[in-house]
Structure 1
Amino acid sequence: MSLSATSLVSGIGWTLLHFIWQGALIGCATAIAMIALRGARPQRRYAVACGALLLCVAWPAIELASRLSGPGAAGNAAHFAMQTVSSSHAADAGALTWLQAKLEWIVMAWAACACALTLRMGMGLWWIGRLANRDRADHHWQARVSAMANQFGITREVRMRVIDKLASPITAGWWRPVVMVPASLLTGMPPDLLEALLAHEMGHIQRFDYLVNLGQNVVETLLFYHPAVWWISGRIRAEREQIADDLAAAHLGDARRVALALSELEKMQFAGQHLAMAANGGELVERIRRLVRPDAQALNWKAAVAMCAMAAACLAAALHVPAQARTQHVRTPALADFTTCAKPLWPKQSLRDENTGTVTLSFLIDAQGGVADSRILKSSGFRPLDRAARVGIARCHFKPATEDGVPVQAWMKMQYIWTLH
């Protein structure tokens, strides 16, 4: 694997792993905010949830950019002093080393799952588009939908299609929106209640909710492994349905009519699938109850305590992350291979004068394992011996240090002890 590919895999892998605790913190903070806003309008909770999901993307994206532009990826000449790992962090260092070795497999598994979810999403969009273009139109209801769209201030053409095998109305498209209505609703639901459901779909079109939903699908595809992402995305959909209910109720001037339409839909449903913009895209019972009795939701203290405890645990876990993980770099020191070193030549003058001593060297090991530079930290007291030590170390080869799995330059210390036997 080339250096750039290694850097990319390492950066993606550590970003995915770090998002485990980052996503947990975002999820806990969002849950606490949702509890605090339980009596607020759904638009506020919707904005908080959307902001949290956006943060779920922005945080790892910024971290990945930082990793790929860091010393290991750019290959610059930043020097890192060699440090020994203390016994208190030995277990942490061992775990990080093990994860570093498995990063390629982690990234491959993530990429495979993300590709499968992308294919699934693409097939779903294709299926919806195929239905929208294939099935029949109802001219009477098409005229009513167009008139309703004008009342909502929607300037784009809104098409309506009647679908035989569909559980509930759904809306697809943002530039050329289409409302797909189950054929069973046209024959089995009173027209005034069906109009209430269509007003709900107009609310989605007016707010461009289809685009937001597509963005959610992308985030779910990339961060599929984290439960917090799915929970936050689910909250967005639930709040979005409540907002559309409110818009429909305001348009009709009768919230109970919207509630009755949802109740009738619930009775008629059979094995419905929750698709992109379904009218049942939330808890129907809760939505009906809210429309009939729009009082503040009661606080679930058990859930609040659980969320606070989870937030505290996530914060403690984040603080326990080893220093090298918090700085977003995992480093391994260079290893000496003294079998590659040529035997140092004893200077003739020093041997004749029986000079002895210890030379302490600091030397720079490049990314290829060669010695690029050396310095005398402590002299033996004799310049010929000091020079001979520097010449000897230059003939050695080492296993280079690594940062996030990428070979980098690093300094080491070593002593040459000149003795006579």
Structure 2
Amino acid sequence: MILESLANSQLIENLGWTLLHSVWQIAFVALWLFSALRVFAKSSTNARYTVSLFALVLALVLPTVTFIWLSQNSPETKQNIVASNAETTDALNEKIQLQENFLPLKNVKSAKPDSEKFFVSVENLQNGFVQNFSAFSPILVGFWFLGILFSALRLFGGIWQLHIYRTRENSEPNQDWQAKFSGLCERLKIKQTVKLLQSKIVKTPMVIGWLKPIILVPTSVFLCMNQKELETIIAHELLHIRRYDYLINFAQSFVEVLFFYHPAVWWISTQIRHERECACDDAVVRTLENSQIVYANALANLEEFRLVAKQTTSPVLVAANGGKLMKRIQRIINNKNTKRSNLQNSLWSASLACALILAFMVALFSTTNEVPVNAQSKLSDGKTRKMAVGFVSIPPTDRMENPPKDADATMRLLIEKLKAHRVPAIGFVQGGMVSDGEKMYPVRTEIVRTWRDAGFEIGIGGYKHIWFHDTPFDEYVANTEKNEIITKKILAEKNLPLRYFSYPFLNNGKTAEDKNRFENWLNDRGLRSVKYTFDNQEWMYSFAYDMARLDNDINTMKEIRAEYLDYMTKMTDHFEAYSQDMFGRDIAQTLVLTPSRLITDTADEFFGMLHKRGYKFVPMDEAQSDEAYQTKEALVDSKSGISWFERWQMAQGKKLRDEPRVSRAVYETWNASETKKRLTQ
């Protein structure tokens, strides 16, 4: 049970996304390092080593930052925790025979002009991948953990091998060598206490340890290698200690364990080891006069000893014969400038490296153009705007010639878009659309289940979408209670709670007495009403859009989409101005929309616009926890529903702001329909 809960947690999904993003992130870092090493081809080895090390650090930092960002911006709500992905999978696998045939999701297409078909198909592929990746994440993360376990066991095996080398069959060399070793330590300015030991087990000189380092030299090397050659080899190992290479190499091995699956990490790591050995080689030649040929011969002889012994070094070791040995020997012999350190060139190279690194970091983290929609941006003051979204009502309204199929397709498209943009929305059920009070309508009930099983919260409105202003109190309560019973049946299938009520038409009563009585009734049942700050007339645009869809009028549909997005942009400005005027800050907003095809067809543009304004989409309870929602509100004593900003403004006796108008063409489409209804009644 614990493993199942863990597999379906947001943590696992975030890890999965982090691993996926690490593939291109680390590949990009490796490409950058490849280019940087070409730029610094004639620079000092220390500069090249520093750049290589930075690349490995960046390869670790980028996925770490990605995981932290995903964790902080997770859309998981209490509903997501209870209705886990496992339950979603079970529900989708049930072969429910419905009375009507559903339109398969893979065949669902938003109404778009022919010229946009290619872009729509690419977009659908992207969104489909995003939506289905959650189910694959536990498998991916599981294989990653297994790989880490195997790699860690290999690393610990190497550490245990070092322990054996350090504790078995070694002894101090003769007094003559101990005296030379002390002089060499003083000459190289080694501040740590280092022991020199000869070993019968190891076949190549090596450094073990960091706090109390020791240098192990094979007994055969003491016997077969001449004194000057061995002195250069020991100097090489001492320089590793002075540079703390053992500690860095251990950290390097840790990164290799984490990213065992990425060839770019192993390539970066190989470059680091090669540049590290070259840097120590250069330091040896600079420190010991006339030692180029001697040191080159020493390395060649050392490799010959190792090949005869057929011993490989542990990845956590720093050894004199590490790196690409033949290239190192050629460098030592051919590099005429190695003996004299060109300090000016080293400083110039290091400065250029820092400049390039700084430019890369600025370009990586400060780019604002074409920001991914899912990346919740922040305002210039570092604060993030918040917005919760409620959909009234679900299931979607049937206006097309094939209502069940179209409503189901609309809901599935909407779910796809909300997940892609990480919007933890809440949908409010209108009971009359899913039941006659006794039996459930199978198709529309299944649409509500689809919303539920996708991890989105469910609330209620009324069984019928009626005005509180025109309805007696007891009748209004009965209408709500009937809807509550129906909706709780659907929620009970997954043991989910019912927490929110949305007033139909945003109208909360004719009198203060009725309003207060009903709020108390809701509280007694564990329900809270939603106070929408971002009211709008999107429903008019959605109606006009559906009428154009009925007529297959592609051009009108395109015009309506453009007009709607312009209208909603102005409405966003409108309510942001209210927020600043009333509270001097950006309060958490609550937006009401209808689940329509217009919403799905403009989701990328609309949610993208909100993202660019710095909005983070949050659950309803987080938004309404803003203290602004405790502000005294005025009762609207007319048959109307308005934003809570306007109610708060009216309570303070202030004039309301002029609201952006719906486009004339859309209004006329809506008005013509209403006139036709009245004439036929």
Query: Superposition pairs for residues 42-61 of structure 1, below 5 Å?
Result: 42-61=45-64
**Equivalent AA in structure 1 for residue 306 of structure 2:** Q
**Equivalent AA in structure 2 for residue 371 of structure 1:** I
Is 1:223 the counterpart of 2:259? The answer is: yes
Task: Name the residue aligned to 2:508.
Answer: none
Tell me, in whole angstroms, the C-alpha distance in 1 between the residues paired with 2:69 and 2:126: 23
Task: Name the residue aligned to 1:192.
Answer: 228
**Equivalent AA in structure 1 for residue 227 of structure 2:** P
CA deviation after TM superposition for structure 1 residue 195, in Å: 1.0
Which residue of the other structure, out of 124, 134, 137, is the alignment partner of 1:90?
A: 124
Tell me, in whole angstroms, the C-alpha distance in 1 between the residues paired with 2:222 and 2:256: 34
Is 1:239 the counterpart of 2:326? The answer is: no
Relative distance call for 1:123 and 1:323 in structure 2 (3 A) is: same
Tell me, in whole angstroms, the C-alpha distance in 2 between the residues paired with 1:218 and 1:284: 24
Larger radius of gyration: 2
Give per-residue Cα distances to partners, 1:300-322, cap 9 Å, x unaligned. xxxxxxxxxxxxxxx9xxxxx99
Tell me, in whole angstroms, the C-alpha distance in 2 between the residues paired with 1:184 and 1:74: 67
Which residue of the other structure, out of 64, 67, 70, is the alignment partner of 1:67?
A: 70
Is 1:285 the counterpart of 2:466? The answer is: no
CA deviation after TM superposition for structure 1 residue 185, in Å: 1.0
Query: Superposition pairs for residues 159-178 of structure 1, below 5 Å?
Result: 159-178=195-214
SS for the counterpart of 1:168 is coil
Is 1:24 the counterpart of 2:27? The answer is: yes
Tell me, in whole angstroms, the C-alpha distance in 2 between the residues paired with 1:158 and 1:414: 73
Give the length in aligned residue pairs.
362
Give per-residue Cα distances to partners, 1:139-177, cap 9 Å, x unaligned. 323443233222222222211222334332111111111
Which residue of the other structure, out of 166, 171, 174, is the alignment partner of 1:137?
A: 171
Task: Name the residue aligned to 1:300.
Answer: none
Is 1:261 the counterpart of 2:261? The answer is: no
Is 1:413 the counterpart of 2:594? The answer is: yes
Task: Name the residue aligned to 2:147.
Answer: 113
Task: Name the residue aligned to 1:306.
Answer: none
Which residue of the other structure, out of 217, 227, 237, is the alignment partner of 1:181?
A: 217
SS for the counterpart of 1:274 is coil
CA deviation after TM superposition for structure 1 residue 57, in Å: 1.0
Relative distance call for 1:145 and 1:89 in structure 2 (3 A) is: same
Tell me, in whole angstroms, the C-alpha distance in 1 between the residues paired with 2:455 and 2:240: 59
Relative distance call for 1:335 and 1:250 in structure 2 (3 A) is: same
* Paired residues of 2:426 and 2:459 also in contact (CA < 8 A): no
Relative distance call for 1:327 and 1:108 in structure 2 (3 A) is: farther
Task: Name the residue aligned to 2:312.
Answer: 273
Larger CA deviation: 329-338 vs 266-275: 329-338
Give per-residue Cα distances to partners, 1:211-262, cap 9 Å, x unaligned. 0000000000011111111111111110100111112112211222211211
CA deviation after TM superposition for structure 1 residue 269, in Å: 2.4
Relative distance call for 1:99 and 1:267 in structure 2 (3 A) is: same
* Paired residues of 1:166 and 1:181 also in contact (CA < 8 A): yes
Tell me, in whole angstroms, the C-alpha distance in 2 between the residues paired with 1:410 and 1:71: 19
Task: Name the residue aligned to 2:42.
Answer: 39
Relative distance call for 1:374 and 1:197 in structure 2 (3 A) is: farther
Tell me, in whole angstroms, the C-alpha distance in 1 between the residues paired with 2:135 and 2:591: 20
Tell me, in whole angstroms, the C-alpha distance in 2 between the residues paired with 1:34 and 1:226: 20
Tell me, in whole angstroms, the C-alpha distance in 1 between the residues paired with 2:19 and 2:591: 27
CA deviation after TM superposition for structure 1 residue 324, in Å: 5.7
Tell me, in whole angstroms, the C-alpha distance in 2 between the residues paired with 1:14 and 1:368: 18
CA deviation after TM superposition for structure 1 residue 367, in Å: 9.2
Task: Name the residue aligned to 1:11.
Answer: 14
**Equivalent AA in structure 2 for residue 110 of structure 1:** W
* Paired residues of 2:196 and 2:216 also in contact (CA < 8 A): yes
**Equivalent AA in structure 2 for residue 22 of structure 1:** Q
* Paired residues of 2:53 and 2:272 also in contact (CA < 8 A): yes
**Equivalent AA in structure 2 for residue 115 of structure 1:** L
**Equivalent AA in structure 2 for residue 72 of structure 1:** P
TM-score, length of structure 1 as denominator length:
0.73
TM-score, length of structure 2 as denominator length:
0.47
Structure with higher strand content: 1
SS for the counterpart of 1:105 is helix
* Paired residues of 2:19 and 2:63 also in contact (CA < 8 A): yes
**Equivalent AA in structure 1 for residue 135 of structure 2:** A
| Cα RMSD after superposing both structures | 4.2
**Equivalent AA in structure 2 for residue 42 of structure 1:** T
Give per-residue Cα distances to partners, 1:359-392, cap 9 Å, x unaligned. xxxxx979976533659xx989995599798777
CA deviation after TM superposition for structure 1 residue 326, in Å: 6.1
Give unmatched runs, 5+ long, in structure 1.
78-83, 297-314, 316-320, 346-363, 401-408
SS for the counterpart of 1:175 is coil
Relative distance call for 1:18 and 1:136 in structure 2 (3 A) is: same
Tell me, in whole angstroms, the C-alpha distance in 2 between the residues paired with 1:339 and 1:123: 67
SS for the counterpart of 1:139 is coil
Is 1:208 the counterpart of 2:211? The answer is: no
Task: Name the residue aligned to 1:350.
Answer: none
Relative distance call for 1:68 and 1:326 in structure 2 (3 A) is: closer
Higher relative contact order, chain-length normalized (CA < 8 Å, sep 6+): 1
Query: Superposition pairs for residues 316-327 of structure 1, below 5 Å?
Result: 323=372
Percent identity, aligned pairs only, is 27
SS for the counterpart of 1:179 is strand
Larger CA deviation: 391-400 vs 66-75: 391-400
